[in-house]
Structure 1
């Protein structure tokens, strides 16, 4: 993977306009060719008459000053701590000027392109046209490339513009890097848990609860080959049916604060996804009534942002697929912060407008906290794609907004392949966001945390022919690892072990993901309620689900309790790292006692008509990966997960 060199501070290398290759009349825009657009990946031409939409991003005024200000207002002891800017103040101080926008709009129109939306902070100018028109305007050609199982369009050379437009920072939408975006939870329609499953950890095991079809299961296998040794463990507990309400509040020690009114009241949490569920209000209210939560009526606002360009008949369009993501996110936030207001902001499509939606939320200051359950599978994106969005994250911190991102569901993105390059996901790897990793969680009958382990799952399936478990292989797990783009941020210095921060052989030390963690393992996941289509009709039902797309909204909800007492934080990481000594340190100490769970699935995902599948899912099975749980900071769970009122009070007291 071709990546930019590490840079000090928090920027991405080589993103300013102009280069040694400029001519008297045009300047190249560095970082505008994706690393995947190589000759080896090229598969064919493009149709020049095809329409496309794109955004021309403009550089901030004094970008170094904007970064410095965002750091200052988020860090205790600084004279500017918590002196947050309003959106209007930020625009006046750092945003591109009206004159910058006017020059770009005039040039785009002169090229036969149609100008669209410009946001209030002047960060970009939207435009539409054909591929041929865009190629002529930016002095490039286009081709199609095959990468990670997808055929995607890209420009073949760096984009260039007239030298008078030196303020152009990047162009998003000409290449299809946005197709690499993934959301971490999209449950299929008509899915439900198969029995048996436990209401709390260990309630049912294979020794006391028969399999529904009479299958005689033996303990599931787990072997750890670390240091050349082999240790066998026995997995006997059936997976939980899914935790909800008081179970999750109790496991993270939030029951007492919530009961006494520290429930997120007065705090607004934004959830960013794509599209919008038509049944979200009734679903969340039904879910709340079943699990001891207050109604969300009056505390939920849904905004579907307009888009100037939606690709017609795009096979990636799947509004119902994202309804599960929206439901999970909102119910998770509401569980941990039942008094908070939630604003759901949906992108009009699921492939390229999430950058504009984030800019909208930040520049209109729609929330105190934003949780994002999507990301890109690694850092293999052009710097010209990353830097404009980094500027939005910097603006968020300067305004006092805390951003949380899921760290991903694919571990270090190698899937155990030793020839693959380990990488964290972006935007989780941005130094300006809080990356939330995943854990496996055991909750007792009394709603207390029994164990919490790193979420890295091995999987083994029961073979009905041999009556034995099949081989164990890596399946999925919380994202993490050492960035190849960003230098180590100030809040990680002295906390992240140097061996991890320099894992890639880089100097100086690099940014490491994640920062914190919470429940993510789908095998010990959250019970979610949603209207779905079943073979016998469309109606509300509940099912267990996970992923770090659960971890992020759970953590954001708990952080809302701190914001209620403290006020806005801006970038949350300085406060969260300061509280690391009172966070729950996720280690491997309990995995021999709680090695995994046996889950039962309906073959058809809905009922027993087609039979059952029996699967062992192990906890903290990170043997084939480069990321591992360790005492203290680690690259699977960060500084750990919330540990009740001690953690909450430490975060609230940050800054005095």
Structure 2
């Protein structure tokens, strides 16, 4: 199951909305002896590992089960070679992308393959309910009894820790004639399909969060003169949250935007789960309050599923998907893209739940319909898997089709520093940001001056110290305890892509093997919530009222849409999409087009937070947030490439010019 990249820095809110509920999805073990009849072959199955799970019963034979059969693309070797040619600026074929129709004709599953899968499903007594626009899957539905027979397995209900779910008790199979056609099946197992909310319909707006003062309008404006010193001096109060003009100035794009290079004509897609009913209104209120034009009538569109899988008040399984948290994620993404690309069109594409398989279908919808040239995604897993071997292949196929059809995917690198899957000290990339066919966006801490210029930018790695009981010192002594930071690390799955050779230090690429591997992130932008962006959202306040409010926020879920917005400017300036941009981006390494975030020791900001998150009723709490710390994490900000900030962040006019 997917979690949003997180909204760190808010008391009482988890960095990863679903961290406690995430299930690791893997295939089951060897299949039992097959029944007599036509030969069959096992296929991959997306479902929870059953380790430690207990059987609680069996589904009713008449219960309806939706299943999805995924199909293989053709000519994988040819597809890989074509991606290299189309994305390499030195190639004669650079940027000569295929249309969706051309991709289908050369690489997608054939009509005959789709027909064979349809026939298998209908002959098994199931009803085919849909086929992906790019033929990547065939959907069907039928009663438990027929689904079990179709895939030669038995479905059972399980309980694992506090979660109940349905799963197949043995490896599913399909007729051997489909061996070269079928990748695998999903839907036999489900958590979200078993969610039983007490009410129907969407969740109410998120619980309110309000920043306490004092805070600085720009970095260093106000100093905490009455509080203890740190690093030999009084430290500044944290910024209140940077506004669009400040972010445009810091990344050097103000002039371009003023001249009309504002992303016009470029569409940026945002994918998240669920859909905030106030997203457009919130984005427009925010824009007009902070010097921007509201989104035009046709500038913002939504592509929504026919139905959602709700469960925010599920008394049995708990809040599996954190629906309210996704509302804030969507709002942040829209406002961040609009902040750096005020002229770009924005298309929001919603997943019906946080299930890995649902997100896979959402991405397939974006790619098969070419809904945008740039796609920003502020969500991910807690390790290198997209849920199962099957879904890893499905996601990779999506990104490869995107690469040859001119669509660039951008993913947050995560907010847990080197602690992916709780394994601090063994930094690893997190899926889907680990794919060599996407641009992984790391996070930075950013200081913006009074005149909206960048004073400095460094890797986001935060230490926390609280004000001592007697108010005379910070405890623990600065830099304090590691709190959070931009995710990064070395892949154990993917080999080093060509574009990282000669750029990523060998010490990082060979962290786990003598064979160089993919390292994340690729690029970076503002992510530190202590130097974060001000956003606006309709929220639910303790007195029961629902109203618009603003607060400072961060996370790599901010960094990705900010960077995607700047790429929209680059696409407009070039007069064409950059599509899968990593080869082009890495060619900028070491040039004036990229700002290299340097190590910045001995820095911090002071925060004052409401204990209850909304007002002073229960008091406030002062903390020192140390910047770019090297305690509690082995990720380091370094000169040149590093596994917090990648090759760096955009450097305004030079970035746009050299990418054109």
Normalising by structure 1, what TM-score? 0.85
**Which residue matches 1:366?**
371
Distance in 2 separating the partners of 1:283 and 1:617: 29
Distance in 2 separating the partners of 1:493 and 1:116: 45
Question: Residue 299 of structure 1 contacts residue 342 of structure 1 at CA under 8 Å; is this kept in 2?
Answer: no
Q: Given the alignment of the two structures, is residue 585 of structure 1 paired with residue 596 of structure 2, yes or no?
A: yes
| Structure 1 residues 268 and 403, CA gap change in structure 2 (3 angstroms) | same
Question: Residue 302 of structure 2 contacts residue 348 of structure 2 at CA under 8 Å; is this kept in 1?
Answer: yes
Distance in 2 separating the partners of 1:540 and 1:470: 36
Secondary structure in 2 matching 1:621: coil
**Which residue matches 2:280?**
281
How far residue 333 of structure 1 moved from its aligned partner, in angstroms, is 0.7
Picking from 217, 228, 233, the partner of 1:218 is 228
| Structure 1 residues 403 and 178, CA gap change in structure 2 (3 angstroms) | farther
Q: Given the alignment of the two structures, is residue 492 of structure 1 paired with residue 500 of structure 2, yes or no?
A: yes
**Which residue matches 1:458?**
463
Q: Given the alignment of the two structures, is residue 532 of structure 1 paired with residue 539 of structure 2, yes or no?
A: yes
Distance in 1 separating the partners of 2:54 and 2:222: 53
Q: Given the alignment of the two structures, is residue 257 of structure 1 paired with residue 277 of structure 2, yes or no?
A: no
Question: Residue 415 of structure 1 contacts residue 474 of structure 1 at CA under 8 Å; is this kept in 2?
Answer: no
**Which residue matches 1:412?**
418
602-611 or 96-105, which deviates more: 96-105
**Which residue matches 2:12?**
none
Distance in 2 separating the partners of 1:540 and 1:650: 40
Question: Residue 59 of structure 1 contacts residue 168 of structure 1 at CA under 8 Å; is this kept in 2?
Answer: yes
Q: Given the alignment of the two structures, is residue 353 of structure 1 paired with residue 358 of structure 2, yes or no?
A: yes
Question: Residue 73 of structure 1 contacts residue 570 of structure 1 at CA under 8 Å; is this kept in 2?
Answer: no
510-519 or 92-101, which deviates more: 92-101
Secondary structure in 1 matching 2:595: coil
Deviations 1:474-525 (A, max 9, x none): 22211111111111111111111111111112x4211111000000011111
Q: Which runs of 5+ in 1 are unaligned?
A: 1-13, 180-185, 211-216, 221-231
Question: Residue 46 of structure 2 contacts residue 187 of structure 2 at CA under 8 Å; is this kept in 1?
Answer: no
**Which residue matches 1:384?**
390
Residue pairs, 1:627-646, within 5 angstroms: 627-646=635-654
How far residue 350 of structure 1 moved from its aligned partner, in angstroms, is 3.0
Distance in 2 separating the partners of 1:389 and 1:454: 29
Secondary structure in 2 matching 1:306: coil
Q: Given the alignment of the two structures, is residue 200 of structure 1 paired with residue 205 of structure 2, yes or no?
A: no
Secondary structure in 1 matching 2:223: coil
Distance in 1 separating the partners of 2:165 and 2:509: 33
Distance in 2 separating the partners of 1:612 and 1:133: 59
Residue pairs, 1:494-643, within 5 angstroms: 494-505=502-513, 507-536=514-543, 537-566=545-574, 567-581=576-590, 582=592, 583-588=594-599, 590-592=600-602, 595-643=603-651
617-626 or 602-611, which deviates more: 617-626
**Which residue matches 1:48?**
59
Distance in 2 separating the partners of 1:339 and 1:300: 8
Distance in 1 separating the partners of 2:165 and 2:412: 25
Distance in 1 separating the partners of 2:114 and 2:308: 20
Deviations 1:546-603 (A, max 9, x none): 1101000000001111100211122110111111222111121x332xx221211111
**Which residue matches 2:78?**
65
How far residue 108 of structure 1 moved from its aligned partner, in angstroms, is 2.2
**Which residue matches 1:27?**
41
Question: Residue 417 of structure 1 contacts residue 624 of structure 1 at CA under 8 Å; is this kept in 2?
Answer: no
**Which residue matches 2:185?**
171
Distance in 1 separating the partners of 2:457 and 2:57: 50
How far residue 187 of structure 1 moved from its aligned partner, in angstroms, is 9.6
Question: Residue 490 of structure 2 contacts residue 508 of structure 2 at CA under 8 Å; is this kept in 1?
Answer: yes
How far residue 621 of structure 1 moved from its aligned partner, in angstroms, is 2.0
Distance in 2 separating the partners of 1:461 and 1:131: 55
Distance in 1 separating the partners of 2:371 and 2:522: 24
Question: Residue 400 of structure 1 contacts residue 570 of structure 1 at CA under 8 Å; is this kept in 2?
Answer: yes
Distance in 2 separating the partners of 1:627 and 1:591: 14
Distance in 2 separating the partners of 1:199 and 1:504: 44
The alignment yields a C-alpha RMSD, in angstroms, of 2.9
Q: Given the alignment of the two structures, is residue 395 of structure 1 paired with residue 401 of structure 2, yes or no?
A: yes
Distance in 2 separating the partners of 1:219 and 1:495: 39
Normalising by structure 2, what TM-score? 0.85
Picking from 447, 452, 457, the partner of 1:447 is 452
| Structure 1 residues 26 and 235, CA gap change in structure 2 (3 angstroms) | farther
Question: Residue 218 of structure 2 contacts residue 449 of structure 2 at CA under 8 Å; is this kept in 1?
Answer: yes
Q: Given the alignment of the two structures, is residue 96 of structure 1 paired with residue 109 of structure 2, yes or no?
A: yes
Picking from 71, 90, 94, the partner of 1:77 is 90
**Which residue matches 1:191?**
209
How far residue 159 of structure 1 moved from its aligned partner, in angstroms, is 3.1
How far residue 219 of structure 1 moved from its aligned partner, in angstroms, is 3.1
**Which residue matches 2:173?**
160
Distance in 2 separating the partners of 1:114 and 1:45: 28
Distance in 2 separating the partners of 1:484 and 1:150: 29
Question: Residue 250 of structure 2 contacts residue 452 of structure 2 at CA under 8 Å; is this kept in 1?
Answer: yes
Distance in 2 separating the partners of 1:579 and 1:165: 46
354-363 or 425-434, which deviates more: 354-363
Question: Residue 53 of structure 1 contacts residue 309 of structure 1 at CA under 8 Å; is this kept in 2?
Answer: no
Question: Residue 170 of structure 1 contacts residue 388 of structure 1 at CA under 8 Å; is this kept in 2?
Answer: no
How far residue 96 of structure 1 moved from its aligned partner, in angstroms, is 0.8
Secondary structure in 2 matching 1:452: strand
How far residue 629 of structure 1 moved from its aligned partner, in angstroms, is 1.6
Secondary structure in 2 matching 1:422: coil
| Structure 1 residues 416 and 95, CA gap change in structure 2 (3 angstroms) | closer
Secondary structure in 2 matching 1:117: strand
Secondary structure in 1 matching 2:131: coil
Distance in 2 separating the partners of 1:155 and 1:422: 33
Aligned length: 603
**Which residue matches 2:292?**
293
